[in-house]
Amino acid sequence: MIIVMKSGASRADIDRVCGKVEARGLKTHLSEGEDRTVIGVIGHDPFSVKDAFTHDPSVEEVVRITSADTVVRLGNGLTIGGDEVVLMAGPCSVEGGEMLLETARAVRDGGGHILRGGAFKPRTSPYAFQGLGREGLRHLAEARRQTGLPVITEVMTPSEVETVAEVADIVQIGARNMQNFDLLREVGRHPRPVMLKRGLSNTIEEWLLSAEYVLSQGNYNVILCERGIRTFETMTRNTLDIACVPLLEELSHLPVIIDPSHGTGRWSLVGACARAAIAAGADGVMIEVHPRPDEALSDGPQSLTPQNFAALVPQLRRVAAAVGKRLADPVRADTADAAVAG
């Protein structure tokens, strides 16, 4: 947050505003220009600052800390966080090379832009399928080579960051690791873009502070992903917090992706929530697609078939247009090699 003082603001005015900021437990950093002074506000809970200073007679305006939104650019030129809406899709888990390729082709042909798929899977039970691990990463690399789709996949522990980032165009931090601070610092030291999922029961403030763990290490390519929060309601797996989209737009400069598959846990609700996400202003959606959901090793009930995914994309295109955005262009196969270079 930056507080821009009015051009005629006196030293006493500046000191007074700084004092008010510091009284809230935040730090200040002055930038005194020829015409006016800008007070940088360091710390969290920017909403409180905004509310408190908007009407101060010597304050011109209160703005987010960057003048422009963060736009994450992948190796094949795809951008996340600008005017284009991106569709991430694929299976919950990489279950094998064949099924991944089949799904990846369906995702691309249906209009998806990024392939998702878990190689390392955080599973509640130690007896459940734990993912194919490094073999899964190889399948992802091959799927990218054959389809040109950039790849997003999860990393679960600091010692695997380098390995995962060799294959992934975007490294995902899962909901259960949102406050795994050593892991956050480790991906912060690596240049690969990071998508940080919100924890099941974490507040938006905690989420932004976890993003700061990554940013503070020098990696500014951070994407936020809302995937539903834990509430008392049991008919849906989680409760999708749609209001976080405009709220994060006010609070942060980072792109926001919505995951309606985990957000609802029911495939029949995914389409409506994906449309809602884009109508609310999200920079993209992440959707689980599986060629045979009934046979999926994980999360079958929330996976779309390729047919359902392909039928949804035109709906999303129309909603994007209704709110002044557009879906990103289809991926070209010849961009495959460039994908991970970003």
C-beta of 74 vs 273, nearer to its own copies: 273
Pairs from 105-109 (Cβ < 8 Å, separation ≥ 24): 105/146, 105/147, 106/289, 106/291, 106/306, 106/309, 106/310, 107/147, 107/149, 107/289, 107/306, 107/309, 108/147, 108/148, 108/149, 108/330, 108/331, 109/310
C-beta of 19 vs 246, nearer to its own copies: 246
Cβ atoms of 142 and 315 within 8 Å: the answer is: no
Q: Smallest gap, in angstroms, from Cβ of residue 332 to its own copies?
A: 27
For residue 124, the tally of other CB atoms under 10 A from its CB is 7
Q: Smallest gap, in angstroms, from Cβ of residue 222 to its own copies?
A: 13
Pairing of strands 72-73, 79-80: antiparallel
Give the total residue count for the chain.
342
Q: Smallest gap, in angstroms, from Cβ of residue 119 to its own copies?
A: 14
C-beta of 101 vs 200, nearer to its own copies: 200
DSSP per-residue codes, 115-141: EE-BSS---SSTTS----THHHHHHHH
Q: Smallest gap, in angstroms, from Cβ of residue 164 to its own copies?
A: 13
Q: Smallest gap, in angstroms, from Cβ of residue 5 to its own copies?
A: 23
Q: Smallest gap, in angstroms, from Cβ of residue 239 to its own copies?
A: 5
C-beta of 142 vs 241, nearer to its own copies: 241
C-beta of 67 vs 125, nearer to its own copies: 125
- The residue behind tokens 């005017």 is 83
Tokens found for residue 122: 């955080």
C-beta of 321 vs 333, nearer to its own copies: 321
